[in-house]
Every structure is written in C-alpha cells, then in structure tokens.
Structure 1
Amino acid sequence: MASIFPGLRRAAPRLTQDFFLCHPCVKQPRPLSDSPKLPIKTNISRTIRFNSSAAAFPEDAGQYSKTPLGSLSRTILKKEQHPPGATKRRAAKFFPETTSKSVAYWLLGSAASVFGIVVFGGLTRLTESGLSITEWKPVTGSLPPLSLADWESEFEKYCASPEFKLLNPHMTLEEFKKIYYMEWGHRLWGRFVGMSFVLPAAYFVARRRVSANMSLRLLGISGLIGVQGVLGWWMVKSGLKDDLFAPGSHPRVSQYRLTAHLSAAFICYTTMLWNGLAILRTNNLLQHPARSHSHLLNLSSGSLSFFRKSVAGLAILVFTTVMSGGLVAGLDAGMIYNEFPRMGLGLTPPKSELWSSFYSRKEDQSDLWWRNMLENPSLVQLDHRIMATATFTAILALWAYTRFNPRVRAALPKECRKGMLGVVHLVMMQVALGIGTLIYLVPTHLAATHQAGSLALLTGVVVLGSRTWIPSRAWRLVQKRVKMATDSGLSGAKPSMHRVPGIKGKAAEPIGLRSELDAMQKMGPPKRA
C-alpha cells in the first residue's frame, strides 16, 4: 500500500496536463502560440474522449473537424452559442412589459390638442368660414397666400362657390381674408395634430417605451387621424356644389358628413384620453401589487357590477346625444322653436310637422320615418331634446344610486365617488348651456361653449370609467409581481395587518403575501364589465 502513493504523486502532473482542461479553453479558440502544450507521450484518443473540441488541438484542427466526433462537437457548440428560440425571445423582448409614463403624458397632451381643434372647428362652422378654401392641398396648403395675386386667385375661386353667390355677393377681399384665415388655421391645426402624434409615436416605439399592445393602438389612432382629415375635406366638398343640398336652401355642408367628421374627432379624442389614463393606472397599480390586488378585488365585487355597467352605458348615451347635436348643427335646427321646455303651443310640434311627406324621396314613402328623423329640423331638434333629457336623468339617477344605496356607497372607492360627482356638475353645466344657446338664438360664443361642454361631459364619463374599469392585463401583471415578490421573499412592502375579531389583547395579526397570492389564484382575474 505504501508503494502506491509515490506512483500517484508522480502521475498527478501528467493527469492534470493531459486530461483536465478548463471549460473556457475548450469553447474559445486560441492562437497556436497560446495553445496548451501537451506532453510528448500524450494519448490523443484519450484526450479527445474527455475534450471533444477541435480548438484544443489547433495543429490537427483540419483533420479533426472532418471526423464525426468533430462535427458533433461543432453542433453542440453552435447550440450553446445560439440556443433554439433565442431569436423569438429577443423579438418578444423588443417591446417592454409596460408602457412608460412619458407616453401617457404625451397621449393626454395630444388629447388636449384634439379638444382644442374640436372647439375651433365649431367656431369655424359658426362663423361660416369652412367653405372659404375651395381646394384641399395637404402639403402645399400649409402656407397661406403670400402675394396679392395669390389672394385674388383664392378669392376668385370662392366667388364661384354657391355660398358667395347666395349669401356673400357683396364680400370684399379684406372680409374674405378673415374667414380664409379661420379655415386655414383650422386645417393647419389638423396637420399639427397629425405630425405631433405620428412622429413621437414612431420615436417611442423605436426607443422601446411602448408595449406591444399599446403600439398597435398607437398605429390605429394614427390611421384614424388620417381618416379624419379625409372626412374633413369630404364634408367641405358637400357645400361647394349645388346638387348636394336642396335648391334654394341655405348653402351648408351635409349634416351626415358633418356628423361623421364630428364623431371621428370625438372617437380620436376618447381613444387618446382612455389609453393615456390606462397607462398611468397600470403603472400605479404595479407600484404596490398587494394593495392593488385588494383594490381590484373590491371593484370586481357583485355590489359594484351594476355601477360599472351603468358607467359604460352612460358613455354610449352621451356620445349618441352629441351626435344628435351634430345633426342639429348641420341643419341649423337650433334656429327654430327657441323656447324651453315648450316647442310652440305644446311640448312637441304638431304631428303633421314632425312627419312631413316633403322629406320623402320615394313614391311609396318607405323612407318617410328615417328621413324625417335625420332631415326634418323640427324632429331633429325634438330628438336632441329627448336624448339630452334622458342623459341628464340617467346621470342623476346613477348618482342617487351610489349616494343612497348602502352597499354601493360602502364599496365604492373614494375616487369613483368624486368622479361621479364631477359628472353631475358637468351635466348640469351642459344643460344650462344648451338651454341658453337655444333661447338666445345660437350666439357664437354660447354655441361654441356648448360644444366644448359636450366634450367635457364625455371626458368626465371617460375618466369615471377609467377608475371603475377592471384592466385584465394589469391584473395579470399584479399577480405576477406578487408571486415574484413572494417567491423571492423581497416584496418590498410591510405585511398587511388585519385585526383578529373576538380576541382581546391581540390587536392585529400580520398576513403575508403568500396568503394573498393564494386568494388571488383561487379567484382568478375578474371579468370586465
């Protein structure tokens, strides 16, 4: 036994040099001068058995690479450097998990710009300036006429329009410049809205500050802005030809095209506002996952289910009422029956006036009902009054429901109560503006304020909806964060304290995140309203 140890001591240096090579040396090729020096009597086959890499034998690399074992070693090394699915994972990681708050602030700023252009567009219509520019030049039209010859050319084109012939035959060039600048400013503002949205959207996506889902939404909003510009010119075009409105009537744009243009603007504004608020809310929820779980769990309770659905219904009702107001504006229906709540001798005009065969265009009068609803100024104004009254009543009823129902009042979060009260104040202001606009024969300042009030009321309902809405994606992210914090033991938050009922002397008992996570997994994500 004593003779074995001297032999092992003599063999140890050879074993370390012959068989044991470090893993980095095997994977990374070295120049010939830096290659490991093997003993003269090295058993090459035994070394290959333990180190299947041609890089360990640079002097025999050419012959070794042709062997089956060398091919296998290259395949294994390639898989280690480029594992399967790595390209897909890198593509998936291009978009972050959440969107940056800076994107939310930019979306809210873009929504404010759309709010302004909607109000300015109302002023353009009320001052009858929308038909002053008779051509649509998206690029070259960015500059106004710069010389007297250019101004005279634009004025000659306007003189050929029906509006000049029937309404403004005595208009001078200086008076034309006023309405021209109004319409030019409106179109220039529209170009600014498009450029200030598309370019920053591309920047945020390129800088990886937008999630994959939000990038698709930004693409949709960009397309909607382009459609809005086309709808604007399509609307103006309807007022430049005699055959697009009734002969002898007041030259105006089509009420259908005006309503389509207005609805696209409202949808564009709502999507910007909603997504901006959604980004801020998601980031706020992820800051305190455990607390956010309790908050979302409370919103998903059955006692608030009717309230959440009612808020969504209110948004639809307000939007529909605004679109009926677009028909009123397109037909100048606010210029008749300028009293409230009566319309003439009663609450409604005579039946013969509401259902007149004058508006039917078919011999069998099959289009009598819907053409009267959309083209008869008396019935259009009555419809708008009915819808506005229904909206006012629905908002007050929902507020009373949240105020006097004990279960709903106890479960409703504080920010939702404030949002509901804000909507009540906005609808009262909007009703007062609508009645004032009607009684005073549609003055410009009151009519423009009334249009701005409609958008403000929709804003209040959208903000209330963003506070009551249960975001399923944010819920999953909250679950993921709580699970990660629980598994790692680094939640970053103190355990919540719950009072133990019926036990004196023991004020509270800590409940860890594990119990909350178990409850979340049992319940699953709440359903959307």
Structure 2
Amino acid sequence: MASLIPGLRRAAPRLSRDFFICHQCLKHSRPRLQLPVKANLSRNIRFNSSTTALPEHGSASPLSSLSKTISGAERQKISQKIANEGQANAKGQKSFFPDTSSNTVAYWLLASAGSVFGIVVFGGLTRLTESGLSITEWKPVTGSLPPLSQADWDSEFSKYRASPEFALLNPHMTLSEFKQIYYMEWGHRLWGRIVGLSFVLPAIYFVARRRVSKNMSIRLLGISALIGFQGFLGWYMVKSGLKDDLFAPGSHPRVSQYRLTAHLGAAFLCYTAMFWNGLSILRTNALLLNPQQAAQDLARLKSPLLSPFRKSVAGLALLIFTTAMSGGLVAGLDAGMIYNEFPKMGLGLTPPRSELFSAFYSRKEDGSDIWWRNMLENPSTVQLDHRILATTTFTAVMGLWAYTRFNKTVRAALPISCRKGMLGVVHVVFLQVALGISTLIYLVPTPLAAAHQAGSLLLLTQALVLGSRTWVPGRMAAMVTKRASVQGVKKAEVNKVKKVFTGIDRNKAPKNM
C-alpha cells in the first residue's frame, strides 16, 4: 500500500486536469467551437468553473463558448437593466404607498356606494312622507340618540309645534303621529352618520396599512370631505323649511328646491366617486395580471374608430345626471302634482306660453330674470323641463345602442363586454321611463316615486359600468404599458438564454457523444 502513494502523487495533476474532460468531444470541436449536448454541458459547468482554454487539447471550455456567444454589448445591456431594476426596487421600498390598491379596498368602496344608494332612496321616502322637518335642530353628536323619556319627547314636540309646517299643515297632529315622522327623519340622519364613520375610519386604516396607492389615498380624502359637506347640506336644506319667509304666504311649507337639489346632487356625486373608484381598482388589478394582453385590449379601446362611442358614453352619463337633478327640482316644488297625463300637458304637448313664462316669478322690475326663474321656480316649466330631459335621455340611449348594433364596423371593433353594458343601459332606461310615467299618472304615490328616484341612480350606475368598460384612464394605460414592456423584456432575455443553452447549432452537435 505504501508503494502506491508515490505513484498517485505523480498522477494527481493529470487526473485533476483531464479526468472530467471528454477527449472525443474535444477532437470533434477542434475545427470550430461547439457546445456539447445538454447532459455533458451541465457536467462540464459543474466541474470546470474556469473559462481558460485547455492547453493540452487546444480547445476552450463550454463556458468560454457561452461567453463568446453573448456579446459584450448584450451583457452590458442586461447588466444595466438589472441595475435599473434594483434602483427602482430601492425607490419602491422607500415609498410609503404601493403602486396599486388592494381589491379589498375596492370591495369596501363598492359596499360604501351601496350604503349611499340606500340612504338616497330612504331620503326620498323621508321627503315623500313629509318627515324631513320633524327635527328642528342639528346635533351631529348628541343627536345620534332619539328622545329616551317622555320629557324629551314633549320637548321635541314643542319645538316642532313652533315650526311653520305644524302651523300650516299639521295643526291637529298628535304626539304618536309626531313620533312616526320623527323616527323617519332620525333614521335618515343616523344612516348618514353611519355612512360617514364606515368610510372615514376604514379609509384611515387602509392608508395606514399601505393598502391604497398615493393617488387613491388623495381620492379617499376628497370623498371623506364630500361626505362631511353632504351632512352640512342636509341641515342647510332642512333649515330652509323652518323659516316662513322663504315661501309665499299661504303656500305649502317646503324646503328650498335649490338646497334640495344640491343635497341630492352631492349624494349622487358621493355615490359616483365611491362606485367608480371601486370599479377602477378591480379593473386595474385584473389588467395587470396579464399586462401584455391588457395592453392589446386597451389599444383596441383607444382606437380612433371608437372615439365617438367613448365620448358619447361620457355625454350620456352627464345627461343622466342632469335629468336626475331636474327631478330634484320637481320634487322640491311638488311639480309632479300637476298635469298628471302623458305625453300631453293639458290641451297640448306643452302648457300655454303665458303659464310657462309668467311674470309672477320675476323679482326684477325689468323682468330680466323671468326666463331662468320660471325654469327653476315655476312648477309647470320645471315639469316640462324634466319631461324634455327625460325624453332626450331615452332617445340618446336608444340612438347610441342603434349605433353599436347596426354599424357593422363599430360593432366589430367594440368588445363584447361593452356591447353587453350598452344593452344593460337600454334595459334600465325602459324601466325608468315606465316608472316615471306611472308616478305622474297616479299622482306621485310614495312607492312609485321612491322607485323612480332609485331608478335614476340605477341608470347612472349602469352608465358608469359601461364607462368602466369603455374608457381608458391615462394612469391605468401608462401602468399597463410599463408592466407589459418590462414583462416583454424579461421574456426576451429568458428566451435568449434558453436559446443559448438548448438551441445553438443543435443539428451540428456531435452525433457520437
């Protein structure tokens, strides 16, 4: 055994140099550099980490061939890209806000929008039951609780008895009847407080937990401010009905139609902001799952061929909102109680001109305000305006649907989701028109009137759904394009490396290896 040790020492340099080298492969590779097949490549890479040539065989190692295949310029480009990504990641780690908002935030926004939808309908019931003026004070904190004792009820009832509504409309109301309208208004105000707290507190939580992007956090702040402003508008509206100097002597006590419409408009805007941002988050996250396909879909929507359709959807949403606000003027003036037939108003399609533009509503001696005051304060003119806007909305919906249905070029270019959204708007507008005509003919019954108000918000909702499938926000498009380009570069690099390892001159590889 001792005699073998000197021989092993003399053979060790040669073993370390040639033991894992395939001499037959090296013979074949002498005319030109060839990579061995996949199995031998992994073995050589594992045991030959050096890229220097083997002097005994005059051949380069496999890694040397690989380094020559990828040029220095390409390696520099890849290294620079990796460095840029590292810098971007470092910056992203320093940023407090993520790039996109969580889907949980989207579901919460949609739930908040549903709560606002409910309070809008309940507010309409409060208005229809003449309950809105039963609480004559605004106590945002202490008013959260109803009267808990008989003395408290007597105090609230005495305050109501001092209001113009009790004196002119309900002089024989009992305490039990007062409790019914009081609970209706108290429930409406309590719901408003719940909407505010259920939005502001989770918004703070989501921002603190880094669940929302920077842009979305600013939007949440704006919606929170809008909710607070909405509560102020509600009291500002009620306050107008507690003063008898805001309406003509002997007339029906009511709140200002201007303040009522402003209160309704703020609720619609609040609902729209919540609903739209919820849909936007879900859409963005869905598109980013496959950014390359999403980039193609967005490019299709941004086609100049669909530009008239995109603009028409935006105009349609604005028209629906305007029509709903004219309905607020109708409700504020009780204009639905007159001319309860359709399509005529009396003997013709419109009342007489002298009735539509009466000098009674002008407050200036020269009559310069007769036009706009009649359009906003004359019940006959306000109802006519609402009819015209409603008919225009119905016609616009049907015209836009026909444009997408019978124009073959537009129909072929429009995604199927947009066509379904357009059909949904058609269904809802038919329902809304039926509810509106029924409400008018049957002298504004409470169930139909509340359903008609809910239908206006439902129609706006469907228009927003269509818009979310049609419009291409710039920030969303930029984010998708960026992700798609990064993903494309990474795929190209991976394919290049795969080609180097598995596809270079496969047909020219030695057959006897």
- TM-score grouping bracket, smaller chain normalisation: 0.7 to 0.9
Distance in structure 2 (CA, Å) of the matches to 1:480 and 1:92: 20
Deviations 1:107-139 (A, max 9, x none): 000000000000000000000000000000000
- Equivalent position to 2:233, from 225, 231, 234: 231
Query: For residue 95 of structure 2, what is the amino acid of its counterpart?
Result: K
> Secondary structure of the equivalent of 1:324?
helix
Distance in structure 2 (CA, Å) of the matches to 1:90 and 1:414: 37
User: Conserved in 2, the CA contact under 8 Å of 1:231 and 1:261?
Assistant: yes
Distance in structure 2 (CA, Å) of the matches to 1:386 and 1:111: 29
Counterpart position of 2:424: 422
User: Conserved in 2, the CA contact under 8 Å of 1:162 and 1:241?
Assistant: yes
Deviations 1:38-83 (A, max 9, x none): xxxxxxxxxxxxxxxxxxxxxxxxxxxxxxxxxxxxxxxxxxxxxx
- Residues 365, 491 of structure 1: alpha-carbon distance in 2 compared, 3 angstrom cutoff: farther
Distance in structure 1 (CA, Å) of the matches to 2:231 and 2:109: 19
> Secondary structure of the equivalent of 1:134?
coil
Query: For residue 286 of structure 1, what is the amino acid of its counterpart?
Result: L
Distance in structure 2 (CA, Å) of the matches to 1:290 and 1:482: 5
- Residues 235, 491 of structure 1: alpha-carbon distance in 2 compared, 3 angstrom cutoff: farther
Query: Is 1:332 paired with 2:334?
Result: yes
Query: For residue 170 of structure 1, what is the amino acid of its counterpart?
Result: H
Distance in structure 2 (CA, Å) of the matches to 1:135 and 1:193: 20
- Residues 174, 91 of structure 1: alpha-carbon distance in 2 compared, 3 angstrom cutoff: farther
Distance in structure 1 (CA, Å) of the matches to 2:493 and 2:371: 64
Deviations 1:468-515 (A, max 9, x none): 0112222222222222223323899xxxxxxxxxxxxxxxxxx99xxx
Query: Is 1:470 paired with 2:472?
Result: yes
Counterpart position of 1:7: none
How do 1:101-500 residues align onto structure 2 when only pairs under 5 Å count? Answer: 101-489=103-491
Deviations 1:219-269 (A, max 9, x none): 000000000000000000000011111111000000000000000000000
User: Conserved in 2, the CA contact under 8 Å of 1:290 and 1:482?
Assistant: yes
Query: For residue 409 of structure 1, what is the amino acid of its counterpart?
Result: R
User: Conserved in 2, the CA contact under 8 Å of 1:228 and 1:265?
Assistant: yes
How do 1:6-21 residues align onto structure 2 when only pairs under 5 Å count? Answer: none
Percent identity over paired residues:
76
- Residues 90, 288 of structure 1: alpha-carbon distance in 2 compared, 3 angstrom cutoff: closer
- Residues 186, 91 of structure 1: alpha-carbon distance in 2 compared, 3 angstrom cutoff: farther
Distance in structure 1 (CA, Å) of the matches to 2:339 and 2:429: 22
Counterpart position of 1:94: 96
User: Conserved in 2, the CA contact under 8 Å of 1:274 and 1:466?
Assistant: yes
Distance in structure 1 (CA, Å) of the matches to 2:431 and 2:493: 47
- Residues 258, 91 of structure 1: alpha-carbon distance in 2 compared, 3 angstrom cutoff: farther
Distance in structure 1 (CA, Å) of the matches to 2:350 and 2:462: 31
User: Conserved in 2, the CA contact under 8 Å of 1:482 and 1:491?
Assistant: no
- Residues 91, 166 of structure 1: alpha-carbon distance in 2 compared, 3 angstrom cutoff: farther
Query: For residue 445 of structure 2, what is the amino acid of its counterpart?
Result: P
Distance in structure 2 (CA, Å) of the matches to 1:439 and 1:321: 19
Query: For residue 307 of structure 2, what is the amino acid of its counterpart?
Result: S
Distance in structure 2 (CA, Å) of the matches to 1:145 and 1:461: 43
> Secondary structure of the equivalent of 2:173?
coil
Q: Tell me how far 1:90 sits from its aligned partner.
A: 7.0
Q: Tell me how far 1:89 sits from its aligned partner.
A: 4.2
> Secondary structure of the equivalent of 2:101?
coil
User: Conserved in 2, the CA contact under 8 Å of 1:159 and 1:165?
Assistant: yes
Q: Tell me how far 1:303 sits from its aligned partner.
A: 1.2
User: Conserved in 2, the CA contact under 8 Å of 1:285 and 1:474?
Assistant: no
Alignment length (residue pairs):
409
Please report the TM-score for the alignment, with normalisation by the length of structure 2.
0.78
CA RMSD of aligned residues (A): 1.7
User: Conserved in 2, the CA contact under 8 Å of 1:373 and 1:379?
Assistant: yes
**Runs of 5+ in structure 2 lacking a partner?**
1-86, 497-513
Query: For residue 118 of structure 2, what is the amino acid of its counterpart?
Result: G
Deviations 1:286-322 (A, max 9, x none): 0011110110011011111100000000011000000
Distance in structure 2 (CA, Å) of the matches to 1:173 and 1:89: 66
Distance in structure 2 (CA, Å) of the matches to 1:371 and 1:240: 23
Distance in structure 1 (CA, Å) of the matches to 2:304 and 2:477: 18
> Secondary structure of the equivalent of 2:268?
helix
- Residues 491, 369 of structure 1: alpha-carbon distance in 2 compared, 3 angstrom cutoff: farther
User: Conserved in 2, the CA contact under 8 Å of 1:334 and 1:438?
Assistant: yes
Query: For residue 294 of structure 1, what is the amino acid of its counterpart?
Result: Q
Counterpart position of 1:59: none
Distance in structure 1 (CA, Å) of the matches to 2:194 and 2:413: 44
Q: Tell me how far 1:92 sits from its aligned partner.
A: 5.5
Counterpart position of 1:49: none
Counterpart position of 2:508: none
- Residues 389, 214 of structure 1: alpha-carbon distance in 2 compared, 3 angstrom cutoff: same
User: Conserved in 2, the CA contact under 8 Å of 1:133 and 1:183?
Assistant: yes
Distance in structure 1 (CA, Å) of the matches to 2:480 and 2:373: 52
Query: For residue 114 of structure 2, what is the amino acid of its counterpart?
Result: A
Distance in structure 1 (CA, Å) of the matches to 2:362 and 2:194: 42
Query: For residue 268 of structure 1, what is the amino acid of its counterpart?
Result: C
Deviations 1:317-371 (A, max 9, x none): 0000000000000000000000000000000001110111000111111111110
